[in-house]
Structure 1
């Protein structure tokens, strides 16, 4: 017997233990997708085992991992799945997620994947425009320094390419680095000093403003980006706002779901 087609969208995120940024970023992305595809069920999965365990212990809150979400959809009679990651790049987390999803291929009639935020050249341009729109009121004498995550995966090259694209698209005052890879703080300090701004605004280039944003970027430790820039003589203003709060970024994820639907 052939089952009637029943399509669902699984939104996969790394996750966060910060309730406020979860609501402002992850929930907002899911809501945008839900509003764009009211005919589809929307499911959630997070990939960080550490965060899932912390939420369970601290809040008694259970959020499905990828395997649990796939099992839940199969149990609910879903026949066709579109998986949309909220990952920034096609890195290690995304590779693992796809492997976990595809282990359930026999349970569904079809499984399709939307792409991470920065996949195509059009994505890169749209992301730059979204950031420029968000910080349109910054004076050219103010530098905006964005903190990306960074990875040992070859996809890390996206960050340096995007930094170049900001300049190419008319924003010489915007700099993008990473907390765990290249370009890092050493390169950022060199470039920002050469630009010689009157103020440095720091913001995360991550889906949520979580641990990295609160601690590595704007924290009290001597090696936080805030303190390193202040020690270099700059007046620094941190903005704890994840990419999920940017309308242009949410729209980009919706377009990725549309592309996967049309495949």
Structure 2
């Protein structure tokens, strides 16, 4: 077959705020890319779910697929409740038509959280682009396999989603990832799509959430507005990102610098897997005269990292560390994807990709 032109547009997006769930040791693993439903708090449930790394932003490769597999094997032996899988629309239907918008996420096995974050972003896409068939693709095969085994629910991986699009005669394909940054997984996605460049007439790929300076400003505005009630001068507001060994890890330092430059002196950004880490954030907070600390994930989905590493009762959690340092701790367990403003920022990225098809 003749290779047709692959039009790849990189667009931008931003984040917003959602509701509150209290500190808890609820355990779930999820991934980057990751989020929760429009303007609601992700429920924190007791028990353990499938091992998945969050994204947001970031990726399975960036957190360790072997660790995820090992954790999942252990989790299979435990009691847990992640919600009703039947309420989630897997969007793997045929009958697509010539125009498709494929929303690509890392994924999560936490059923309620998947619906409230990834599902909510997909719902927003469906509303914004009525002429496009919105479909889903997950990048984590571990999550896909676990959900299939546990709930008998089938979710396409990216390759399966692309093959479905080809078999359905899609001519114009727009792909919008829900990744937080342009990291390893985003690069993998672009490369995988390139392998199907001869299958479609036109293809455009939207950019991750944090891409342009305007994206960072929009995200900063969203998260500060969502936590404004806590910014009383005696409370440190700390955001926990995932972190990555890739160069894209700089987004966390950039967000911290922009918060400081904008006058948000009581806001701090750290990561669970990279730098700055918990010790760095705790040291910064100790430099102030704070009495209380608010913890919130800077991730699309509030999964294991949010519920366990941030808000859990384990000795290594952020909550435990700050309580041990004498602070009164409040945990806001909510994914960025749960927020309507974040959903709309992803829509803006997808719109730029759609617009590029007519150029």
TM tier, shorter chain?
over 0.9
- Residue 81 of structure 1 corresponds to 173
- Please state how far the C-alpha of 1:196 moved relative to its aligned partner: 2.7
1:121 is matched with which residue: 201, 213, 229?
A: 213
The one of 40, 43, 65 aligned to 2:135: 43
Deviation at 1:195, TM superposition (A): 2.5
What aligned pairs does 1:193-232 form with structure 2 within 5 A after superposition?
Answer: 193-232=286-325
2:262 & 2:338 partners in 1: Cα distance? 22
Partner in structure 2 of residue 71 of structure 1: 163
Q: Establish whether residue 59 from structure 1 lines up as the match of residue 151 from structure 2.
A: yes
Shift of 1:53: 1.6
Q: More helix per residue: 1 or 2?
A: 1
| Residue 241 (structure 1) aligns with | 334
Over aligned residue pairs, what C-alpha RMSD do you find? 1.2
Deviation per CA, 1:166-193, whole angstroms, max 9, x where unpaired? 1222321121111101111111011111
Contact 1:134/1:246 (<8 A) preserved: no
2:244 maps to which residue? 151
TM-score (norm 2): 0.70
Structure number having the greater strand percentage: 1
In the alignment, which of 187, 194, 211 is matched to residue 95 of structure 1? Answer: 187
Shift of 1:139: 2.9
1:253 aligns with 2:346: yes
1:87 & 1:161 partners in 2: Cα distance?
17
List per-residue Cα deviations over 1:34-63 (Å, max 9, x = no partner): 111111110100111221121111111111
1:176 lines up with 2:252 in the alignment = no
Instruction: Give structure 1 stretches of 5+ with no counterpart.
Output: none
3-state SS, counterpart of residue 153 of structure 2: coil
Q: Which segments of 5 or more consecutive residues in structure 2 lack a partner in the other structure? A: 1-96
Which 10-residue stretch deviates more, 6-15 or 134-143? 134-143
Secondary structure of the equivalent of 2:228? coil
1:133 to 212, 225, 232: 225
Aligned partner of residue 191 in structure 1, secondary structure: helix
SS of the counterpart of 1:62? coil
